[in-house]
Amino acid sequence: HKLAALNGSVRSMFTMLVVFVAMIFAGLGDVLPGGMALPQAGPGWIGLAVLVALYGSAFSVLFITVPRLDMARNASVMNVEPIATLLFGWLILDQMISPIQMVGGLIVVSGIVILTLRKSS
């Protein structure tokens, strides 16, 4: 809202900068449980590098494409992220999905379907 007069790419860079600075302050201020420590072994550094590359590229693509899309029509698609996270945790990390998580996932998917059907009619 405050940055509405700025160009979309500059506004996106400011958003990413705010998130980065907030993360630094949260880490240095011991706000996060267990704190933030750098990896102690090679696989940890590789995981951190892959996380930075994938997460950074995903957010960059998001901020580049959002101004080009009609987000009023496509905003419900953004709610698929928690469902994808849940499914990838189950598929890749072999995490268990609790019944309450299944109910939450069904609520999210149902909401997306309802919004999609409402917009198409």
Tokens coding 38: 């750098």
Domains in the chain, number:
1
Asked whether residue 42 is assigned to any structural domain, the reply reads no
Output the pLDDT for position 23: 82
Asked whether residue 17 is assigned to any structural domain, the reply reads no
The model carries a pTM of: 0.48
Q: Does 53 score more than 80 pLDDT? A: yes
What is the domain extent for residue 113? 71-121
Asked whether residue 85 is assigned to any structural domain, the reply reads yes
Q: Which amino acid is at 98?
A: S
Asked whether residue 60 is assigned to any structural domain, the reply reads no
Asked whether residue 55 is assigned to any structural domain, the reply reads no
Contact indicator for 112, 77 with CB cutoff of 8 Å: yes
Q: Does 74 score more than 70 pLDDT? A: no
